[in-house]
Chain A
Amino acid sequence: MNIVVLVKHVPDATADRRFESDNTVDRVGVDGLLSELDEYAVEQALQIKEKADGDVTVTALSIGPEQAVDAVRKALQMGADQGVIVTDDAIAGSDAVATSLVLAEAIKKIGSPDLVVTGMASTDAGTSLVPAMLAERLGLPQVTFASVVETQGDQIRAKRDGDAATEVIGATLPVLLSVTDQTGEARYPSFKGIMAAKKKPMETYSLSDLGVDAGQVGLDAAWTAVEETTARPPRTAGEIVTDEDGSGATALAEFLASKKFI
């Protein structure tokens, strides 16, 4: 069985907070890391591999600048078998449409996967568009936003917490699967895993390796255009009172009344 797991390298918004407890890895650069939500995808890919009967190869795939190799390496440290990174100057500024195009071509080049596993959203752009677009491009059943995943032979079952209902989605492999952070904590790379990762195969593709025309990707080819970005004025801290013998509730009620909420 072949599993391709997608790992995106994203700017680190909360480095010191999120990684204080993560003592096992000391390889995260200041500027980026494996999207936290993709760790859940790697974890599920590895669990499926561990449960499967036959041989399973897990390939971690990322598109991004050269540093994106860090995201792939982390997946290898966690236990993926091999890595692929697609990097090309022309890709910078690509939207979800172009990203999904390049990912689809890279997946085809890796081989015909039985399972493509992604995160529920990237932590930077966060549109959740890429998984659906990939399913469309690859013609795969789309099993997305899974909070619980079970595989048996070539069957997959996933729980999906929708807005109106909780559903069980079933499909036959090959499948595109996206998983949420409800699937369970991702493992930390062990020392052994970190050492082993150094010897695992890692390939780099350019756009021409994939037969993708540079004119189809990048900022200029995007199907949407950002016209303006504005930083929201930071919220200024308002009034803070300390509750003493019920004074807090009264003060809060006064505030809510002044704003016409009560």
Chain B
Amino acid sequence: MSEILVLVDHVDGNVRKTTNELLTIARRLGEPSAVFIGSGDAPVDALKKFGAEKIYAVDDAEIKGYLVAPKAEVLAQLAEKTSPGAILIPSSAEGKEIAGRLAIKIESGVITDAVDVTEGGVTTQSVFAGSFTVQAKVSKGTPIITVKPNSAAPEEVAGAGAVEQFAATVSDGAKTAQIVASQPRQSTGRPELTEAAIVVSGGRGTGGNFEPVENLADALGAAVGASRAAVDSGWKPHTFQVGQTGKTVSPQLYVANGISGAIQHRAGMQTSKTIVAVNKDEEAPIFELVDFGVVGDLHTVLPALTEEINKRK
């Protein structure tokens, strides 16, 4: 069985859930080899737990100060060495860019934003604002596939987790876009927006008061999202934005509050399993999508709902 390279998504060595999902998918295609680009020891136990047979540890001393290009070089060199059956990369902005550069380097086809990958390497994508699904396959070279969060239920299977240090050579040409400053995102203490099972969002209708939205989110153990109108008004940072130019989320439950449901917002949430909305305008287009909707003022409905939920707990 051929190796399947999985680029590990981590923050300071803490492996993110998306990696477990990618390792799970990799097992359908071959033998998962985790590629850990970072400082210090590789998080062997975390990677073994979800089936990593091998772990390529790449020291990031020469990599972390530069945007995207060095990581694409590392993967190209590993691909050369291991002739993998496929390369799986998390579908973040950076992940997709790494995939794009890698595709040119190793002359291989790339598929982005897969929500599923089958044994034969057939991917499923959701396109045109979630109104179509597409099945596709890489037809040239080593399939490079970026996979969205929540695309598989992570399965725990012990892997050998054999660590191999990989000394990549990073060219000067890859060290031209420098990260001159970096401010880590502050943890909200809530689930990650793209990974959460429940997302509670607020829009212009909050009038800038997100408290009812946040309290409901906490009662449900949910992540908080926002429309672009709310972000543009400065009520929430851009990292909260759901939609075409923000995050795409596909949770079990999406609760839209004071959000009209513009096509660009829908593009980021339309594939949620269950959709609920609270909006005071019964004509709001968001109501075309919902499984359950309440026509009402979010400032009264949400606190009452939160109280009801807390009572039932």
Contact = CB atoms under 8 A, between A and B. Distances in A.
Binding site secondary structure of chain A? mixed
B102 to A, nearest CB: 9
Nearest to A176: B177
Contact of A237 (B278, B287, B300): B287
Interface stretch (A42-50, A83-91, A106-114, A167-175): A167-175
B15 to A, nearest CB: 13
B239 interface: yes
A152 interface: no
Binding site secondary structure of chain B? mixed
Interface residues of A, number: 81
Interface string A236-261: 01111111001011111101110101
A30 interface: no
A159 to B, nearest CB: 9
B245 A229 contact: no
A137 B104 contact: yes
Contacts, number: 263
A135 B276 CA distance: 42
A240 B294 CA distance: 6
A231 B96 CA distance: 25
Interface stretch (A1-9, A73-81, A121-129): A121-129
B188 interface: no
Interface stretch (A20-28, A62-70, A138-146, A206-214): A138-146
Given A143-B67, A240-B295, A243-B301, A229 B134 contact: yes
A243 B68 contact: no
A259 B274 contact: yes
B105 A37 contact: no
B77 to A, nearest CB: 15
26 contacts: A97-B110, A120-B245, A124-B128, A128-B100, A129-B110, A129-B112, A132-B101, A133-B103, A135-B101, A161-B239, A162-B93, A164-B11, A167-B179, A175-B177, A224-B111, A226-B136, A237-B289, A241-B292, A242-B294, A243-B296, A248-B295, A248-B301, A252-B292, A253-B305, A253-B312, A261-B253
Given A37-B245, A142-B69, A225-B138, 16 more contacts: A127-B100, A129-B96, A129-B110, A131-B100, A166-B182, A166-B185, A169-B180, A224-B111, A227-B135, A230-B134, A235-B270, A238-B293, A243-B295, A248-B304, A252-B292, A261-B274
Interface of B: 11, 67-69, 72, 92-94, 96-101, 103-105, 107-113, 122, 126-141, 173, 176-185, 198, 220, 228, 237-239, 244-245, 252-253, 262-263, 270-271, 274-276, 278, 282, 287-297, 300-302, 304-305, 307-309, 312-313
Interface of A: 13-14, 17, 37, 95-97, 100, 120-121, 123-124, 126-133, 135-137, 139-145, 147, 157, 160-172, 175, 180-182, 222-232, 235, 237-243, 246, 248-253, 255-257, 259, 261-262
